[in-house]
Structure 1
Amino acid sequence: MFNVAIDGPAGAGKSTIAKAAAKELGFIYVDTGALYRAIAYNAVTKGVIDDTQKIIDMLTDTNVELKYVDGVQAVYLNGDDVSAYIRTPEISMGASKVSAIPQVREFLLNLQRDIAQKNNVIMDGRDIATVVLPNADVKIFLFASPECRAQRRYKELMEKGEDVTLEDVLADVNQRDYQDSHREIAPLKPSEDSVMADTSKLNLEESIQLIINIIKERIK
Protein backbone atom coordinates (compact mmCIF):
# COMPACT_ATOMS: atom_id res chain seq x y z
CA MET A 1 0.00 0.00 0.00
CA PHE A 2 1.13 3.57 -0.73
CA ASN A 3 0.50 5.96 2.17
CA VAL A 4 0.62 9.76 2.11
CA ALA A 5 0.66 11.67 5.42
CA ILE A 6 -0.37 15.33 5.40
CA ASP A 7 -0.06 17.36 8.58
CA GLY A 8 -0.60 21.02 9.28
CA PRO A 9 -2.43 23.58 11.42
CA ALA A 10 -6.18 24.15 11.54
CA GLY A 11 -7.58 25.93 8.51
CA ALA A 12 -4.67 25.19 6.19
CA GLY A 13 -7.02 23.52 3.73
CA LYS A 14 -5.72 20.02 4.40
CA SER A 15 -9.08 18.30 4.07
CA THR A 16 -10.16 20.01 0.85
CA ILE A 17 -6.74 19.67 -0.79
CA ALA A 18 -6.13 16.09 0.35
CA LYS A 19 -9.61 15.03 -0.76
CA ALA A 20 -9.09 16.47 -4.25
CA ALA A 21 -5.61 14.97 -4.55
CA ALA A 22 -6.88 11.56 -3.47
CA LYS A 23 -9.63 11.65 -6.08
CA GLU A 24 -7.12 12.59 -8.79
CA LEU A 25 -4.73 9.80 -7.80
CA GLY A 26 -7.36 7.15 -7.10
CA PHE A 27 -6.49 6.94 -3.39
CA ILE A 28 -8.82 6.82 -0.39
CA TYR A 29 -8.92 10.07 1.57
CA VAL A 30 -8.91 9.75 5.37
CA ASP A 31 -9.91 12.88 7.31
CA THR A 32 -8.59 12.04 10.78
CA GLY A 33 -9.78 15.39 12.09
CA ALA A 34 -13.33 14.22 11.46
CA LEU A 35 -12.74 11.33 13.87
CA TYR A 36 -11.74 13.74 16.66
CA ARG A 37 -14.67 15.97 15.76
CA ALA A 38 -17.00 13.00 16.17
CA ILE A 39 -15.61 12.36 19.65
CA ALA A 40 -16.01 16.07 20.47
CA TYR A 41 -19.57 16.08 19.12
CA ASN A 42 -20.40 13.12 21.34
CA ALA A 43 -18.88 14.88 24.36
CA VAL A 44 -20.69 18.15 23.63
CA THR A 45 -24.07 16.50 23.18
CA LYS A 46 -23.56 14.58 26.43
CA GLY A 47 -22.47 17.76 28.22
CA VAL A 48 -19.06 16.42 29.26
CA ILE A 49 -16.73 18.37 26.95
CA ASP A 50 -15.08 20.13 29.93
CA ASP A 51 -14.60 16.96 31.99
CA THR A 52 -11.60 14.91 30.86
CA GLN A 53 -12.44 11.86 32.97
CA LYS A 54 -16.02 11.74 31.71
CA ILE A 55 -14.74 11.98 28.13
CA ILE A 56 -12.43 9.02 28.81
CA ASP A 57 -15.31 7.07 30.40
CA MET A 58 -17.51 7.91 27.41
CA LEU A 59 -15.13 6.07 25.05
CA THR A 60 -16.29 2.66 26.31
CA ASP A 61 -19.68 3.28 24.70
CA THR A 62 -18.40 5.11 21.62
CA ASN A 63 -18.09 3.67 18.14
CA VAL A 64 -16.67 5.84 15.35
CA GLU A 65 -16.48 4.69 11.74
CA LEU A 66 -15.47 6.14 8.39
CA LYS A 67 -17.59 4.88 5.54
CA TYR A 68 -17.12 5.57 1.84
CA VAL A 69 -20.07 5.90 -0.52
CA ASP A 70 -19.04 6.51 -4.13
CA GLY A 71 -15.69 7.71 -2.82
CA VAL A 72 -17.24 10.26 -0.46
CA GLN A 73 -16.33 9.95 3.21
CA ALA A 74 -19.06 9.92 5.84
CA VAL A 75 -18.46 9.91 9.60
CA TYR A 76 -20.61 7.65 11.73
CA LEU A 77 -20.99 7.92 15.49
CA ASN A 78 -22.69 4.98 17.17
CA GLY A 79 -24.36 4.08 13.88
CA ASP A 80 -25.55 7.60 12.98
CA ASP A 81 -24.12 9.75 10.17
CA VAL A 82 -22.91 12.91 11.96
CA SER A 83 -20.99 14.39 9.01
CA ALA A 84 -23.29 17.42 8.82
CA TYR A 85 -22.96 18.31 12.51
CA ILE A 86 -19.22 18.29 13.20
CA ARG A 87 -17.99 21.40 11.36
CA THR A 88 -19.14 24.17 13.71
CA PRO A 89 -16.68 26.42 15.61
CA GLU A 90 -17.86 24.84 18.89
CA ILE A 91 -17.00 21.35 17.67
CA SER A 92 -13.70 22.60 16.25
CA MET A 93 -12.62 23.82 19.66
CA GLY A 94 -13.95 20.65 21.23
CA ALA A 95 -11.89 18.55 18.82
CA SER A 96 -8.77 20.42 19.90
CA LYS A 97 -9.63 19.65 23.54
CA VAL A 98 -10.29 15.94 23.11
CA SER A 99 -7.24 15.47 20.87
CA ALA A 100 -5.03 16.45 23.82
CA ILE A 101 -6.31 13.46 25.82
CA PRO A 102 -3.96 10.45 25.43
CA GLN A 103 -6.76 7.92 25.82
CA VAL A 104 -8.70 9.50 22.95
CA ARG A 105 -5.66 9.42 20.67
CA GLU A 106 -5.02 5.77 21.51
CA PHE A 107 -8.70 4.98 20.93
CA LEU A 108 -8.52 6.31 17.36
CA LEU A 109 -4.96 5.27 16.48
CA ASN A 110 -5.65 1.67 15.54
CA LEU A 111 -8.63 2.64 13.38
CA GLN A 112 -6.46 5.04 11.39
CA ARG A 113 -3.61 2.57 10.96
CA ASP A 114 -5.96 -0.24 9.94
CA ILE A 115 -7.37 1.86 7.09
CA ALA A 116 -3.84 2.71 5.90
CA GLN A 117 -2.71 -0.92 5.96
CA LYS A 118 -5.55 -1.98 3.69
CA ASN A 119 -5.67 0.91 1.19
CA ASN A 120 -3.65 3.44 -0.77
CA VAL A 121 -4.48 6.50 1.32
CA ILE A 122 -3.94 10.18 1.75
CA MET A 123 -4.44 10.81 5.46
CA ASP A 124 -4.44 14.27 7.00
CA GLY A 125 -4.31 15.53 10.56
CA ARG A 126 -1.90 16.97 13.12
CA ASP A 127 0.39 14.02 13.86
CA ILE A 128 0.05 11.65 10.91
CA ALA A 129 3.69 11.75 9.80
CA THR A 130 5.09 11.84 13.33
CA VAL A 131 2.86 9.33 15.15
CA VAL A 132 0.11 7.63 13.15
CA LEU A 133 2.01 6.75 9.95
CA PRO A 134 5.71 7.35 10.72
CA ASN A 135 6.66 5.10 7.79
CA ALA A 136 4.44 6.83 5.22
CA ASP A 137 5.82 6.88 1.68
CA VAL A 138 5.25 10.66 1.40
CA LYS A 139 5.08 13.16 4.27
CA ILE A 140 3.84 16.71 3.70
CA PHE A 141 3.46 19.59 6.15
CA LEU A 142 0.80 21.87 4.66
CA PHE A 143 0.51 25.34 6.14
CA ALA A 144 -0.45 28.97 5.57
CA SER A 145 -0.20 32.11 7.70
CA PRO A 146 -2.75 32.47 10.54
CA GLU A 147 -4.22 35.56 8.87
CA CYS A 148 -4.65 33.73 5.59
CA ARG A 149 -6.27 30.74 7.26
CA ALA A 150 -8.60 32.96 9.28
CA GLN A 151 -9.71 34.81 6.14
CA ARG A 152 -10.50 31.54 4.37
CA ARG A 153 -12.39 30.18 7.37
CA TYR A 154 -14.31 33.44 7.82
CA LYS A 155 -15.45 33.35 4.19
CA GLU A 156 -16.52 29.72 4.56
CA LEU A 157 -18.54 30.43 7.72
CA MET A 158 -20.18 33.52 6.22
CA GLU A 159 -21.28 31.47 3.21
CA LYS A 160 -22.93 29.06 5.65
CA GLY A 161 -24.80 31.95 7.29
CA GLU A 162 -22.80 31.87 10.54
CA ASP A 163 -22.76 35.07 12.62
CA VAL A 164 -19.01 35.55 13.14
CA THR A 165 -16.37 38.26 12.88
CA LEU A 166 -12.97 37.96 11.25
CA GLU A 167 -11.35 38.96 14.55
CA ASP A 168 -13.07 36.11 16.39
CA VAL A 169 -12.12 33.61 13.71
CA LEU A 170 -8.48 34.73 13.84
CA ALA A 171 -8.53 34.42 17.63
CA ASP A 172 -9.87 30.86 17.29
CA VAL A 173 -7.16 30.01 14.74
CA ASN A 174 -4.41 31.31 17.01
CA GLN A 175 -5.87 29.52 20.04
CA ARG A 176 -6.08 26.21 18.17
CA ASP A 177 -2.52 26.63 16.89
CA TYR A 178 -1.30 27.17 20.45
CA GLN A 179 -3.27 24.23 21.84
CA ASP A 180 -2.20 21.88 19.05
CA SER A 181 1.49 22.80 19.15
CA HIS A 182 1.82 22.87 22.96
CA ARG A 183 -0.06 19.74 23.97
CA GLU A 184 2.03 17.10 25.71
CA ILE A 185 0.86 14.23 23.53
CA ALA A 186 1.74 14.31 19.79
CA PRO A 187 2.09 18.08 19.41
CA LEU A 188 1.68 19.63 15.97
CA LYS A 189 5.07 19.85 14.26
CA PRO A 190 6.65 18.83 10.96
CA SER A 191 8.46 15.52 10.89
CA GLU A 192 12.13 15.77 9.98
CA ASP A 193 11.48 14.29 6.53
CA SER A 194 8.29 16.20 5.68
CA VAL A 195 8.08 18.30 2.54
CA MET A 196 7.04 21.83 3.57
CA ALA A 197 4.14 23.19 1.48
CA ASP A 198 3.12 26.83 2.04
CA THR A 199 -0.23 27.68 0.41
CA SER A 200 -0.50 31.26 1.72
CA LYS A 201 -0.13 32.76 -1.76
CA LEU A 202 -1.78 29.94 -3.71
CA ASN A 203 -5.40 29.53 -4.67
CA LEU A 204 -7.18 26.23 -4.15
CA GLU A 205 -6.40 24.79 -7.58
CA GLU A 206 -2.72 25.71 -7.28
CA SER A 207 -2.55 24.19 -3.79
CA ILE A 208 -4.09 20.93 -4.98
CA GLN A 209 -1.68 20.71 -7.90
CA LEU A 210 1.27 21.39 -5.60
CA ILE A 211 0.36 18.42 -3.42
CA ILE A 212 -0.33 16.15 -6.40
CA ASN A 213 3.06 17.03 -7.89
CA ILE A 214 4.86 16.27 -4.60
CA ILE A 215 3.16 12.87 -4.39
CA LYS A 216 3.74 11.96 -8.04
CA GLU A 217 7.45 12.71 -7.68
CA ARG A 218 7.67 10.09 -4.93
CA ILE A 219 5.58 7.49 -6.74
CA LYS A 220 7.97 7.34 -9.71
Structure 2
Amino acid sequence: MISTNRIIIAIDGPAASGKSTTARRVARQLGYTYIDTGAMYRSVALKAIEGGLLESIRRDPGQVASILEGISIRFEGERILLDGRDVSREIRDNRVSREVSFLSSLKPVRDCLLVMQQALGRGRGVVMDGRDIGTVVFPDAELKIFLVADARERARRRLLELQAKSEGKTALPDIETLEREILERDRADAEREHAPLRKHPDAVEIDTSKLDIDQQVEMVYRLARKTEAAG
Protein backbone atom coordinates (compact mmCIF):
# COMPACT_ATOMS: atom_id res chain seq x y z
CA MET A 1 0.00 0.00 0.00
CA ILE A 2 1.34 3.43 -0.99
CA SER A 3 1.47 5.82 1.96
CA THR A 4 -0.23 9.22 1.82
CA ASN A 5 2.60 10.65 3.97
CA ARG A 6 5.36 10.56 1.40
CA ILE A 7 8.86 11.34 2.64
CA ILE A 8 12.38 11.87 1.35
CA ILE A 9 14.79 9.02 2.04
CA ALA A 10 18.50 9.86 1.77
CA ILE A 11 20.90 6.91 1.50
CA ASP A 12 24.60 7.73 1.70
CA GLY A 13 27.75 5.68 1.98
CA PRO A 14 31.04 4.79 0.30
CA ALA A 15 31.50 3.00 -3.01
CA ALA A 16 30.00 -0.50 -3.33
CA SER A 17 28.29 -0.37 0.07
CA GLY A 18 24.99 -1.38 -1.54
CA LYS A 19 23.41 2.07 -1.83
CA SER A 20 22.04 1.88 -5.34
CA THR A 21 20.57 -1.62 -5.17
CA THR A 22 19.03 -0.95 -1.77
CA ALA A 23 17.62 2.44 -2.80
CA ARG A 24 16.18 1.07 -6.05
CA ARG A 25 14.40 -1.82 -4.36
CA VAL A 26 13.13 0.23 -1.42
CA ALA A 27 11.72 2.80 -3.84
CA ARG A 28 9.97 0.05 -5.78
CA GLN A 29 8.41 -1.41 -2.62
CA LEU A 30 7.23 2.00 -1.41
CA GLY A 31 5.99 3.19 -4.78
CA TYR A 32 8.51 6.03 -4.65
CA THR A 33 10.77 7.52 -7.32
CA TYR A 34 14.37 6.32 -7.24
CA ILE A 35 17.08 8.88 -8.05
CA ASP A 36 20.63 7.56 -8.48
CA THR A 37 22.79 10.65 -7.94
CA GLY A 38 25.95 8.59 -8.36
CA ALA A 39 24.82 7.85 -11.91
CA MET A 40 24.54 11.59 -12.50
CA TYR A 41 28.18 12.14 -11.49
CA ARG A 42 29.21 9.13 -13.54
CA SER A 43 27.46 10.67 -16.54
CA VAL A 44 29.56 13.82 -16.20
CA ALA A 45 32.70 11.68 -15.94
CA LEU A 46 31.69 9.68 -19.01
CA LYS A 47 31.13 12.88 -20.98
CA ALA A 48 34.61 14.11 -20.01
CA ILE A 49 36.22 10.81 -20.99
CA GLU A 50 34.39 10.46 -24.30
CA GLY A 51 35.12 14.08 -25.17
CA GLY A 52 38.82 13.63 -24.51
CA LEU A 53 38.69 16.48 -22.00
CA LEU A 54 39.81 14.74 -18.84
CA GLU A 55 43.47 15.78 -18.97
CA SER A 56 42.70 19.38 -19.88
CA ILE A 57 40.26 19.56 -16.94
CA ARG A 58 42.96 18.17 -14.66
CA ARG A 59 45.27 20.99 -15.78
CA ASP A 60 42.55 23.63 -15.58
CA PRO A 61 39.44 22.56 -13.60
CA GLY A 62 37.59 25.62 -14.90
CA GLN A 63 37.31 23.87 -18.26
CA VAL A 64 34.70 21.54 -16.79
CA ALA A 65 32.21 24.31 -17.59
CA SER A 66 32.34 23.19 -21.24
CA ILE A 67 30.85 19.85 -20.21
CA LEU A 68 28.19 21.27 -17.93
CA GLU A 69 26.84 23.91 -20.30
CA GLY A 70 23.53 22.62 -21.61
CA ILE A 71 24.03 19.13 -20.17
CA SER A 72 20.90 17.01 -19.88
CA ILE A 73 20.68 14.13 -17.39
CA ARG A 74 17.33 12.41 -17.12
CA PHE A 75 15.90 9.25 -15.60
CA GLU A 76 13.42 7.04 -17.44
CA GLY A 77 12.54 4.25 -15.07
CA GLU A 78 15.89 2.63 -14.31
CA ARG A 79 17.57 4.03 -17.42
CA ILE A 80 19.73 7.14 -17.34
CA LEU A 81 19.89 9.37 -20.38
CA LEU A 82 22.86 11.67 -20.98
CA ASP A 83 22.01 14.31 -23.57
CA GLY A 84 19.22 12.02 -24.78
CA ARG A 85 21.42 8.87 -25.03
CA ASP A 86 20.95 5.82 -22.84
CA VAL A 87 24.26 5.44 -20.96
CA SER A 88 23.06 3.06 -18.26
CA ARG A 89 25.77 0.49 -19.08
CA GLU A 90 28.61 2.82 -20.10
CA ILE A 91 28.63 4.72 -16.82
CA ARG A 92 29.33 1.49 -14.89
CA ASP A 93 32.57 0.87 -16.77
CA ASN A 94 35.62 0.66 -14.50
CA ARG A 95 37.31 3.58 -16.29
CA VAL A 96 34.40 5.77 -15.17
CA SER A 97 34.68 4.37 -11.64
CA ARG A 98 38.34 5.42 -11.54
CA GLU A 99 37.66 9.00 -12.63
CA VAL A 100 34.32 9.89 -11.06
CA SER A 101 35.77 10.97 -7.70
CA PHE A 102 37.92 13.61 -9.41
CA LEU A 103 35.04 15.05 -11.45
CA SER A 104 32.65 14.96 -8.51
CA SER A 105 35.16 16.87 -6.36
CA LEU A 106 34.86 19.96 -8.59
CA LYS A 107 32.58 22.66 -7.22
CA PRO A 108 30.98 23.59 -10.57
CA VAL A 109 29.98 19.94 -11.08
CA ARG A 110 28.51 19.64 -7.59
CA ASP A 111 26.68 22.97 -7.86
CA CYS A 112 25.18 22.04 -11.23
CA LEU A 113 23.98 18.61 -10.13
CA LEU A 114 22.79 19.89 -6.74
CA VAL A 115 20.20 22.06 -8.50
CA MET A 116 19.06 19.08 -10.59
CA GLN A 117 18.87 16.77 -7.58
CA GLN A 118 16.89 19.18 -5.41
CA ALA A 119 14.44 19.77 -8.25
CA LEU A 120 13.95 16.01 -8.69
CA GLY A 121 13.22 15.51 -4.98
CA ARG A 122 11.03 18.53 -4.42
CA GLY A 123 7.79 16.60 -4.84
CA ARG A 124 8.82 14.15 -2.06
CA GLY A 125 8.15 10.43 -2.27
CA VAL A 126 11.73 9.84 -3.41
CA VAL A 127 14.64 7.61 -2.46
CA MET A 128 17.93 9.28 -3.36
CA ASP A 129 21.35 7.75 -2.90
CA GLY A 130 24.84 9.22 -3.11
CA ARG A 131 27.54 10.56 -0.82
CA ASP A 132 26.14 13.90 0.34
CA ILE A 133 22.37 13.48 0.14
CA GLY A 134 21.73 13.64 3.88
CA THR A 135 24.35 16.32 4.53
CA VAL A 136 24.04 18.69 1.55
CA VAL A 137 21.28 17.85 -0.93
CA PHE A 138 18.48 17.09 1.54
CA PRO A 139 19.70 17.66 5.12
CA ASP A 140 16.01 17.88 6.12
CA ALA A 141 15.19 14.42 4.72
CA GLU A 142 12.86 12.62 7.10
CA LEU A 143 14.93 9.41 6.92
CA LYS A 144 18.69 9.38 6.51
CA ILE A 145 20.57 6.10 6.09
CA PHE A 146 24.36 5.63 6.04
CA LEU A 147 25.48 2.28 4.63
CA VAL A 148 28.97 0.93 5.30
CA ALA A 149 30.84 -2.31 4.55
CA ASP A 150 34.46 -3.43 4.82
CA ALA A 151 36.68 -2.74 1.80
CA ARG A 152 37.33 -6.38 0.82
CA GLU A 153 33.61 -7.15 0.77
CA ARG A 154 32.95 -4.07 -1.34
CA ALA A 155 35.72 -5.12 -3.75
CA ARG A 156 34.16 -8.58 -4.01
CA ARG A 157 30.78 -7.04 -4.86
CA ARG A 158 32.31 -4.76 -7.47
CA LEU A 159 34.10 -7.70 -9.09
CA LEU A 160 30.87 -9.70 -9.28
CA GLU A 161 29.16 -6.70 -10.86
CA LEU A 162 31.91 -6.34 -13.47
CA GLN A 163 31.89 -10.08 -14.20
CA ALA A 164 28.15 -10.03 -14.80
CA LYS A 165 28.43 -7.09 -17.18
CA SER A 166 31.49 -8.30 -19.10
CA GLU A 167 30.02 -11.77 -19.72
CA GLY A 168 33.58 -13.07 -20.03
CA LYS A 169 34.33 -10.84 -23.02
CA THR A 170 36.88 -8.53 -21.41
CA ALA A 171 39.75 -8.88 -18.93
CA LEU A 172 38.86 -7.71 -15.44
CA PRO A 173 40.98 -6.30 -12.61
CA ASP A 174 41.74 -8.63 -9.71
CA ILE A 175 40.13 -8.18 -6.32
CA GLU A 176 43.29 -6.65 -4.80
CA THR A 177 43.32 -3.93 -7.47
CA LEU A 178 39.64 -3.22 -6.92
CA GLU A 179 40.16 -3.02 -3.16
CA ARG A 180 42.99 -0.50 -3.62
CA GLU A 181 40.82 1.58 -5.97
CA ILE A 182 37.91 1.51 -3.50
CA LEU A 183 40.12 2.62 -0.61
CA GLU A 184 41.57 5.41 -2.75
CA ARG A 185 38.07 6.53 -3.68
CA ASP A 186 37.06 6.47 0.00
CA ARG A 187 40.02 8.73 0.76
CA ALA A 188 39.25 11.10 -2.12
CA ASP A 189 35.55 11.30 -1.23
CA ALA A 190 36.26 11.98 2.45
CA GLU A 191 38.98 14.57 1.82
CA ARG A 192 37.48 16.56 -1.05
CA GLU A 193 36.89 20.22 -0.35
CA HIS A 194 33.31 20.43 -1.54
CA ALA A 195 30.62 18.22 0.05
CA PRO A 196 32.90 15.46 1.38
CA LEU A 197 31.49 12.07 2.33
CA ARG A 198 30.16 12.43 5.87
CA LYS A 199 27.58 10.71 8.01
CA HIS A 200 24.81 13.09 9.12
CA PRO A 201 24.36 13.08 12.92
CA ASP A 202 20.74 11.96 12.43
CA ALA A 203 21.56 9.14 10.01
CA VAL A 204 20.96 5.49 10.88
CA GLU A 205 24.18 3.56 10.15
CA ILE A 206 23.82 0.04 8.77
CA ASP A 207 26.86 -2.20 8.27
CA THR A 208 26.07 -4.39 5.25
CA SER A 209 29.28 -6.46 5.33
CA LYS A 210 27.46 -9.58 6.53
CA LEU A 211 23.99 -8.79 5.19
CA ASP A 212 22.55 -10.05 1.94
CA ILE A 213 20.66 -7.59 -0.22
CA ASP A 214 17.23 -8.81 0.93
CA GLN A 215 18.16 -8.22 4.57
CA GLN A 216 19.42 -4.68 4.06
CA VAL A 217 16.46 -3.75 1.86
CA GLU A 218 14.07 -5.04 4.52
CA MET A 219 15.82 -3.03 7.25
CA VAL A 220 15.56 0.22 5.30
CA TYR A 221 11.99 -0.52 4.20
CA ARG A 222 10.87 -1.04 7.81
CA LEU A 223 12.57 2.20 8.89
CA ALA A 224 10.81 4.02 6.04
CA ARG A 225 7.38 2.70 7.01
CA LYS A 226 8.01 3.63 10.64
CA THR A 227 9.06 7.15 9.61
CA GLU A 228 5.98 7.55 7.38
CA ALA A 229 3.72 6.48 10.22
CA ALA A 230 5.39 8.89 12.65
CA GLY A 231 4.75 11.80 10.32
- Kept in 2, the 8 Å contact 1:158–1:164? The answer is no
Deviation at 1:111, TM superposition (A): 1.0
* 2:71 is equivalent to residue 62 of structure 1: yes
User: Which position in structure 1 is the counterpart of 2:43?
Assistant: 38
Q: Is the CA contact 2:10–2:144 (under 8 Å) kept in the aligned structure 1?
A: yes
Write the letter of the residue equivalent to 2:21.
T
Structure 2 CA distance, aligned partners of 1:128 and 1:22?
A: 16
| Corresponding letter in the other structure for 1:190 | K
**In structure 2, distance between residues paired with 1:65 and 1:26:** 19
Secondary structure in 2 aligned to 1:191?
A: coil
1:207 shift after superposition: 1.1
Where do 1:168-183 residues align within 5 Å? 168-183=177-192
| 1:153 equivalent in structure 2 | 158
Q: Which amino acid aligns with 2:94?
A: P
Choose the corresponding residue for 1:211, options 197, 202, 220: 220
% same residue = 37
Compute the TM-score of the two structures, normalised by the length of structure 2: 0.90
Match of 1:196 in 2: 205
2:151–2:182 Cα contact (<8 Å) kept: yes
Which amino acid letter does the alignment assign opposite residue 2 of structure 1? I
Aligned-partner residue type, residue 225 of structure 2 = K
Query: Counterpart in 2 of 1:73?
Result: 78
Deviation at 1:53, TM superposition (A): 2.5
Q: Which letter maps to 1:107?
A: C
Q: 4+ runs of 1 displaced by more than 6 Å?
A: none
User: How far apart, in 2, do the equivalents of 1:73 and 1:154 lie?
Assistant: 22
Which is worse superposed, 118-127 or 153-162? 153-162
Q: Provide the rounded CA distance (Å) in 1 between the counterparts of 2:123 and 2:98.
A: 31
Q: Structure 2 CA distance, aligned partners of 1:155 and 1:76? A: 25
Task: Give 1:54 deviation, angstroms.
Answer: 2.2
CA contact (8 A) 1:7 1:124 kept: yes
Q: CA RMSD in A?
A: 1.2
Where in structure 2 are there 5+ consecutive unaligned residues?
1-5
Shift of 1:187: 0.5
CA contact (8 A) 2:64 2:108 kept: no
Distance 1:105 1:208 in 2: 28
